[in-house]
Amino acid sequence: MRVNYHQPLVRRNFALGVANGVVFIAASAFMEPTAVLPAFVLALTGGGKIWVGIVAALVTCGWFWPQILLGGFFSTRTRLLPFYWVSSAGRVAAMLAIAAVIACAPHGHSAGLFLAVAALFFLYSSSGAVGMIPFYSIVSDSMPANRRGRFFGLRCLMGGLLAMGAGLVVKAVLSDSHGLQFPQNYVLMFGIAAVLMAISAGAFSLVAEPEHNVQRHKLPLSMEIARGPRLLRRDRNWRLLMWSRVFGSIAGGSTAPFLVPFALEVLKAPQSVVGAFLTIMAAASAGSNLLWSHIGDKRGNRKLLIWSSATAALPAAVALVSLAVPATPLGTWFGLPLTLRLAVFSLAFIPLGFAAPGQDIGQTNFLLDIAPERRRSTYLAFSYVVMLPLAWWPVVGALIIGQARFALAFALGTLAAAATVLIVARLDEPRADDLGLVAEGAPEVEVQPLAAGGY
C-alpha cells in the first residue's frame, strides 16, 4: 500500500500519535524501570537485589509473551484499534491496582505483598504488549518509511521534556525533608502515571485506522516458530540482529536495574536522588532524538544501531570508573548532598537515557526493513521466543551481585555491550539503494510494503 504523507489521514494520525507518545513517556517517568522501579522494590522488600531482578524480568517478559501468541491472530484481523483499547484499559487498571494495593497494605515487608505487586507489574506490561502490534500496524500503514524516524523522534523529544519535569516531581515526592513517607510517595506517583496513561490512550483512540494487508489464513504458532530457525539461517541480517539483541540483553540486564541500588546502598545517596537521575535521563533522551531520527531517516538504521549501541556501552563503564573516584564531599546541590564519586556515577545516566531511544527506533525499524511481508509474523514470533528467556537475565545479574559485587556485574555488562557494537557493525543496510549508500558485498534485499505487524 502506497502512503501519501500529505493525505488527511496521515497528518491526523501523525499528530495524534505524537500526542499519545508525549503523554505516555511523561506517564512512564513516574514508574521508570531503571530508576523509580528499583528504588520502589528496595523500599518494598527491605533491600533485596534479587527482588529487583525478578520484577525487572517480569516486566520485560510481559512485553514479549503476548506477541508470540497473538502475532498470527492479528495478521488476519481487519480492525486492530479495538485491541489497542483493551490493552490501554488493562494497563491503566493495573497501575491503579498497584497504587491501591500498596496504599491499603499493612506496614512492613511481606512475601504476599511483593507477589501481588510483582503480578500486577506483569499484568501491566502484558496488557501493554497486547496493544503493541495494533499500534505499530496502524503507524506503519499510516505513514511512509522515511517519516517514521521523525514520528518516533518527535514523540521522544517532547515526551522527554515532560519527563524532565516528572523527574523534579519525583525528587520532591521522595525527598527526606519535604516529601511523603513510604508508601504514600509511590501511591501518588503511580496514581499520576495511571491518569496520564488514560489521557495518552484517549489520544491514540481517535486515530483513523487505515486499511491493512490482511492474511487470509494464519499459520499455527507451532509452524511459525518451527520455520523460524530455517529463516534465521538464511537471513544473515536477521541472524546478526538477533545476536546483537542477545548480547544487548545481557549488557542491559547486568547494569540498568542495579544502578539505583548501587547509588543507594554503596554510595549512600538519599532516595530523592532517583528524581535527579530521572531528570538526567529524560534530558539526555530528549536531546538524543533529533540526532537518532535524522540518522535513521537519512543514513539508515544500521548506522543508527551502531551509534546507539556504542552509546549504550557507556553506563556500565562509567559506573566502574566511579568506583576508583574518591568520595570527596562537594556540598549540597539542588537539595542533594553530593560527593565526587556520586557526581561521576551520575554521568552514567546520560548515555543510559541518550541510547535508549536510538536502540528502540533502530531495532524496530531495522526489523521492519528486513522482514518480508509474507514472513513478517514468523520473524516477529521467533524473535520474541528467543528474547523471552533472556528477559530473566536481571535475575542472573542480581545473583552475580549478591550482597555487594556490583563491579563484577558492571564489568560483564561492559563486555557484553562491546560485543553488541561489534555485531551490529557487521549488518548490511537494507535501504542502501534508497539512501544512495554503497553496501559492499551486501546481498540484494527485497523491501516490502509494510503490513500488519510491528515491534
Q: What is the mean pLDDT of residues 425-431?
A: 89
Q: Which three cell numbers stand for residue 255?
A: 547494569
Environment class of residue 336 by beta-carbon count within 10 Å: exposed (0-12), middle (13-18) or buried (19+)? Answer: middle
> Within its chain, how far is the Cα of 269 from the centroid?
26
CATH number of 8-435: 1.20.1250.20
| pLDDT at site 442 | 42
| pLDDT at site 365 | 81
Q: What is the mean pLDDT of residues 367-383?
A: 78
Of the pLDDT bands very low, low, confident and very high (cuts 50, 70, 90), residue 370 is confident
**Which residues, in sequence order, are bridge partners of residue 339?**
329
How many angstroms separate the Cα of 112 from the Cα of each of 44, 102, 183? 11, 11, 16
Residue 6: count of CB within 10 angstroms of its CB: 6
b/e string for 52-62 if b means 16 or more Cβ within 10 A? Answer: bbbbbbbbbbb
> Within its chain, how far is the Cα of 7 from the centroid?
31
> How far is residue 435's CA from residue 432's CA, in Å, rounded to a whole number?
5
Q: For the whole model, what pTM was predicted? A: 0.85
> How far is residue 5's CA from residue 142's CA, in Å, rounded to a whole number?
8
Q: Which of 144, 138, 272, 151 is nearest to 211 (CA)?
A: 138
**Which residues, in sequence order, are bridge partners of residue 336?**
333
Q: Which sign, positive or negative, has the C-alpha torsion 417, 66, 41, 89?
A: positive
Q: What is the mean pLDDT of residues 93-119?
A: 89
Of the pLDDT bands very low, low, confident and very high (cuts 50, 70, 90), residue 404 is confident
Of the pLDDT bands very low, low, confident and very high (cuts 50, 70, 90), residue 289 is confident
What is the tens place of the pLDDT at every residue in 161-197?
Answer: 899 999 999 999 998 776 688 889 999 999 999 999 9
Contacts of 229 (CB under 8 A, 6+ apart): 382
Q: Is the peptide bond before 183 cis (omega within 30 degrees of 0)?
A: yes
Q: Which three cell numbers stand for residue 435?
A: 539512501
State which amino acid sits at residue 433. D
- With 50 as the cut, is the pLDDT of residue 254 above it? yes
| pLDDT at site 3 | 47
404 DSSP assignment:
T
Q: Where are the domains of the chain?
A: 8-435
Helix H or strand E segment including 420: helix 406-424
> How far is residue 280's CA from residue 325's CA, in Å, rounded to a whole number?
20
Q: What is the mean pLDDT of residues 403-420?
A: 93
